[in-house]
Amino acid sequence: MVKGIHVCKLSKNAHAPSISVKSFPGTCIEDMESYSVPTIRSKPDEVILHVETNDLQKLTARQAAEEGIVNLADNISQNCGSKIAISSISKRLDKPDLNPKLEEVNNILKKFSFRFQVF
């Protein structure tokens, strides 16, 4: 989903001095705990989490949302003080059977908008 983003254009249009995009295709939420360590060390002002559906085949919607995405956001926020925004999961054309569970994850995530910006 973040593939093909032109970081230079994004930085210029957002009037932000430094924007980086990190993509980890094929990983699960648990893996993201490890992948987020370098980002936490750099102490960014803001982080946008766009987590996809690799976990939805084995986890319930609640597990993926609360134990996965929300815990990851909490971990990043607590360890570096960043503002966190969580992107809703996009519908899958290649795996339409996951879309009802995906919608359930998005609805659960919206309940956490008091802690994070959820879009």
* 64 within domain boundaries: yes
* 21 within domain boundaries: no
Segment 1-5 mean pLDDT: 54
- Bridge partner list, 84: 47
The rounded distance, in Å, linking the Cα atoms of 56 and 29 is: 10
Confidence of residue 1 (pLDDT cuts 50, 70, 90): very low
* 52 within domain boundaries: yes
Which residues are CB-neighbours of 64 under 8 A, at least 6 positions away?
29, 55, 56, 101, 105
- Where are the alpha helices (H) located in the chain, listed in sequence order? 7-14, 29-35, 37-42, 61-62, 71-80, 99-110
How many distinct structural domains can be found in the chain? 1
Above 90 in pLDDT, residue 107? yes
State which residues form the domain around 61: 26-118
Predicted TM-score (pTM) of this structure: 0.80
Question: Given 3-state DSSP classes, what are the helix, strand and coil percentages for the chain, each rounded to the nearest 5?
Answer: 50, 10, 40
* 44 within domain boundaries: yes
* 76 within domain boundaries: yes
Above 50 in pLDDT, residue 42? yes
* 114 within domain boundaries: yes
* 93 within domain boundaries: yes
68-104 per-position pLDDT tens digit: 999 999 999 999 888 899 989 888 888 899 999 999 9
Confidence of residue 20 (pLDDT cuts 50, 70, 90): confident
* 11 within domain boundaries: no
Question: What is the predicted pLDDT for the residue at 100?
Answer: 94
Confidence of residue 45 (pLDDT cuts 50, 70, 90): confident
Q: How is residue 9 written in tokens?
A: 């254009």
The rounded distance, in Å, linking the Cα atoms of 93 and 51 is: 17
